[in-house]
Amino acid sequence: MPRICCVPNCKRGYKEGNKDIHLFQLPEDEVIRNKWIAQIGGQEVLRRAARVCDIHFDVCYFKTGNC
């Protein structure tokens, strides 16, 4: 099943055939999840399977978890 980024106007995803794209599932923790949703643009209803691609994260979060 193709997976695409849920951020508005972002069309990146595995359906393009690019396996170098990393998609991250929204956190289960409601507080953190709501922070992600606010950053995405306030979409209140996102499926549990919604994903955000790696271009929406600063590279420092991938190495240390802190910026």
User: Residue type for 16, please?
Assistant: E
Q: How far is CA 19 from CA 14, 33, 51, in A?
A: 6, 25, 15
Please tell me which residue, 67 or 5, carries the higher pLDDT value: 5
Write down the pTM of the prediction: 0.70
Which pLDDT score is estimated for 44?
59
Residue 67 has pLDDT above 70, yes or no: no
Distance CA 24, CA 2 (A): 14
CA distances from 35 to 9, 19, 21 (A): 19, 27, 23
pLDDT for 64 equals: 57
Q: How do the domains of the chain map onto residue ranges? A: 14-63
Condensed to tens digits (0 to 9), the pLDDT of residues 4-46 reads: 888 888 878 766 566 778 888 888 888 988 888 888 886 655 6
pLDDT reading at 48 higher than 80: no
